[in-house]
Amino acid sequence: MKLAWKNIEAFVKKPPASALAVLVYGPDEGLVRERAGLLTRHVVPDPKDPFGVAEIPADQLLDNPARLLDEAQSISMLGGRRVIRVRDATDKATAAAKETLKALKPGDNLVILEAGELGPRSSLRLLFEEAENAAALPCYVDDERDLTRILSETLKEQGYLIPSEALVYFAANVVGDRGVARSEAEKLITYMGKVKNITLDDVVACTGGGAVLPLDDLARNASSGNFAEADRVLRYLLSEGEAPVRILRVLQDYFLRLHVTKARLAQGEDLELALKKLRPPLFFKHKDAFVAQVNGWSLSLMEQAMTILMSAEAKCKQTGSEPETLCSRAVLALSQMGGKALASRRRA
């Protein structure tokens, strides 16, 4: 059976009883794995169940082509059907597959072959396309429209809301197969934590610049006194494997930028000119928050913050220290200082 593109999703959701074997193939390895897994679950609830699923390396069929049919017709110890999965199949598996398809009958175990890209003349692909009791299921790399749907569904399943402009940006910046797309969605979910409303800035932070933007996000929230948000971003960074010492150094750099700008203003320099001198340049969307921090924090308070960060870094390098705890305490201290500094500025 040759599946048309428009019929693929329906087939995966409810494969016909006549399909006793399926060839899942294509350049999108993540999608091949995903669809093979979905087909497996129609027969065996747990794809990792060793009694319900038998996996055969494709190269073993070269020496023993009869093994595929033997497994396909074997009886489960627990009753019911099993799934036989052959990974990394190529045209070399055609002979074994041909003999198996000839002998398969209703009630036999489900046979799934997973393969990479197979051309129109592939003997294995043609075998499954022409067989009445089998199906050839292609898996091509998702376009942006498909990725938008996949990302939206993955986020929605976890209770997250994302506006259309953020979703479009997300899909346009996801590079890779479907497996990568779902991984990026899970990464965004980890970053958001309990905050369910995703913004464009959140997506940019996760996809636009690796860990640099989340680090900047951490510094901005801590110096604004927003500990809850700063702590959320910190937890995300640590879960992604970011080193506490690097986090502390980025925070030091941020406060140094605040200090340099504040000192220039104290010398009578124009605010816009002082901001233009910053290297790297200040991101325009963060300008208002940065200016508020420059105005709210005193020079002496900024120096105290940098001392706290340098002390935390030094302790992180000591034997037996707990770097993540030290980093978290430093962020808490900065947030408390930032909250008081900006509150005093507003009262003034």
Write down the pTM of the prediction. 0.48
Please give the pLDDT value at position 210.
43
> How many angstroms separate the CA atoms of 239 and 214, rounded?
12
Please give the pLDDT value at position 101.
95
Residue among 189, 214, 195, 199 nearest 166 (CA): 199
Please give the pLDDT value at position 131.
94
Burial 60-91 (b: 16+ CB within 10 A, else e): ebeeebebbbebbeeeeeeeeebbbbbeebbb
Please give the pLDDT value at position 142.
60
Token pair 């991984």: residue? 183
Copy the structure tokens of residue 152: 């939206």
List of domains in the chain: 5-138 (3.40.50.300), 142-207 (1.10.8.60), 209-348 (1.20.272.10)
Burial of 41 (0-12, 13-18, 19+ CB in 10 A): exposed
Convert the pLDDT of each residue in 225-262 to its tens digit. Answer: 889 889 988 988 888 788 899 889 989 988 999 999 99
Can you give the chain as a three-state secondary structure string?
A: CECCHHHHHHHHHCCCCCCCEEEEECCCHHHHHHHHHHHHHCCCCCCCCCCCEEEEECCHHHHCCHHHHHHHCCCCCCCCCCEEEEEEECHHHHHHHHHHHHHCCCCCCEEEEEECCCCCCCHHHHHHHHCCCEEEEECCCCCHHHHHHHHHHHHHHCCCECCHHHHHHHHHCCCCCHHHHHHHHHHHHHHHCCCCECCHHHHHHHHCCCCHHHHHHHHHHHHCCCHHHHHHHHHHHHHCCCCHHHHHHHHHHHHHHHHHHHHHHHCCCCHHHHHHCCCCCCCHHHHHHHHHHHHHCCHHHHHHHHHHHHHHHHHHCCCCCCHHHHHHHHHHHHHHHHHHHHHHHHHC
> How many angstroms separate the CA atoms of 222 and 220, rounded?
6
Copy the structure tokens of residue 120: 């129109």
Burial 248-275 (b: 16+ CB within 10 A, else e): bebbbebbebbbebbebbeeeeeeeebb
> How many angstroms separate the CA atoms of 184 and 171, rounded?
10
* Residues of the chain scoring pLDDT < 50: 209-212
Convert the pLDDT of each residue in 25-59 to its tens digit. Answer: 988 788 899 899 999 999 998 888 888 999 998 98
Please give the pLDDT value at position 346.
62
Please check whether residue 326 is in contact with residue 238, taking contact to mean a CB–CB distance below 8 angstroms.
no
Angle CA 191–141–125, to nearest 5: 140
| Rounded alpha-carbon distances, angstroms, from residue 76 to 54, 230, 294 | 11, 53, 71
